[in-house]
Amino acid sequence: MAELNSVKVDLLHVGKNIPVPDLSFLCDQSLLETKKSYWKERIGNIKKVVAPMVDQSELAFRQYMRDHGADLCFSPMIHAHLFTTDATYRKVSLSTCKNEQEKLFIVQFCGNDPLTLLMASRYVEGYCNGVDLNLGCPQLIAKKGNYGAYLQEKRELISEMVNKVYLHCKLPISVKIRVQDTVEDTIAYAGMLENAGASMITIHGRTRDMRGPNTGVADWKHIAAVKKVLNIPIIANGNIQVPGDVERCLETTGADAVMSAEGILFNPLLFENSFEPCYVIAREYLECAKKFDGNISAVRAHIFRICHHTLIRHDDLRIKMSVITSFPDFEEIITELERRTGATEEEYKKGKELFAQYTPHPSASLKDFIEATPYWFSKPYIRPIIDSTKQCESEYRIQKRAEIQKQADATGLSKRQIRKKERRRIDFLRVRDAKQSFPPCKRCAQPASSSCCNSSCRKCCRLICMVDFLNCPVHKYVAEKLKSYRDAFLATQNV
């Protein structure tokens, strides 16, 4: 496993001081040709790609994945309208660092207006290697917001959006789409995007309706058909879960590279064709999150997935994970998971041998194989196959229902009452844990400001700065400005 330097890195944001982009800028023919060929010239060194994932492909995770085999990373999906109108959203939604462009980085936007997309794209010039238009998000919020995969019937609008960025932005534009109902329509859709100016296309092998419990299996045939027709790089997406899937996808589709989303969330070592205990991976990712100032909610989501198969066996740690708000708390849970697992070196070697034995076969069930391997390894989450005639339940739900039934039998309470008490308990823990504790003021014992250089509350800090002729940058007290108040105060004290 890679070793990480724990020194924090200076982050870059598209700040408030960035001027509003000039939308009248027009690329000359030389720049257009350079952009069109940009990814074609670099795709030879790109095979493994980190997908754009809302709140999950943040800087810390991107850097972690680069240390473990990723050749190209996408930002989380960013809402173009909010990015152009809200400076705070711009800062929060996109973080990068000084050398990320050298490692190839694309910023992805969603939206439905050509000028807004252009403005957002021009804002990130100098921060990334390219921009990407999300035409693949199948979630219902995308339907409500009229973006993502729900734009795919509006081909003229899509073409105008891509062409606007192609003609007026200095960065190359790529697009991420989903397959259509027929291979012919998928080819026509991708061809339209190439003609509009797209320099690279990512194709997810599932249709718009294949999401959640109806996710199903991605169809690589569409991707292979598109690759034979188009002249720009094609990235394949879908069904990348276990070691060897990247190579199988490249061979089957002929694609230039392969993108993974859920597969690398549950096993971040997938691109290295490796499996390791979840607490080893989680601890290493946590160090990366500290270094790159990871957001607590993103860190929590990552550790939930990395340790998924272990946490469902330790419900108390799973509940605690949902309410904690600090890095030391995460470290404590990871350490406890390792202690409870108690795996020996021999068990570790046997686990590694089991994973190495997996070979895909039509008669073999991946779900059965994953269930037969040690639960304390990070490994794929296999969605249950939906049978419309039966209720589908996860392992966690079945286990939780049995626990509730046991409590109901022991207490005489209804299952509904027990669930209500549990929700209230978790809400209480969440509120209690979120409360920040402050050191006492050294003068009056009230809570002091956390960063005050005088270790005082605001009122006492003013008095200390005034009497001792000091400055406090946190409370913005300047000794020189308090001089007249100081003279008056000392006069009343007969000093």
Percentage of the chain exceeding pLDDT 70: 92
Kindly report the average pLDDT of the chain as a whole number: 88
Buried b (16+ CB within 10 A) or exposed e, 329-368: bbeebbeebbeebeeeeeebeebbeebeebeeeeeeeeee
Dihedral class, residue 438 (left if φ above 0, else alpha if ψ from -120 to 50, else beta)? beta
Whether the per-residue pLDDT at 2 is higher than 50: the answer is: no
Q: What is the pLDDT of residue 5?
A: 52
Whether the per-residue pLDDT at 4 is higher than 80: the answer is: no
Question: What would the pLDDT profile of 391-412 be if each residue is shown by its tens digit?
Answer: 555 566 777 788 888 887 787 7
Q: What is the pLDDT of residue 389?
A: 44
Q: What is the pLDDT of residue 419?
A: 79
pLDDT band at 430 (very low <50, low <70, confident <90, very high): low
Name, in order, each residue with C-beta under 8 angstroms of 329's C-beta and a sequence gap of 6 or more. 320, 433
Whether the per-residue pLDDT at 85 is higher than 90: the answer is: yes
Question: What would the pLDDT profile of 305-333 be if each residue is shown by its tens digit?
Answer: 999 999 999 988 998 998 888 899 999 99
Question: What would the pLDDT profile of 164-176 be if each residue is shown by its tens digit?
Answer: 999 999 999 999 9
Residue 137 appears among annotated catalytic residues = yes
- What's the whole-number mean pLDDT along residues 265-273? 95
Of the listed 110, 137, 288, 441, which one is catalytic?
137
Question: What would the pLDDT profile of 187-226 be if each residue is shown by its tens digit?
Answer: 999 999 999 999 999 999 999 988 776 777 889 999 999 9
Q: What is the pTM of this model?
A: 0.80
Q: How many residues does the chain have?
A: 495
Q: How is residue 383 written in tokens?
A: 């969605």
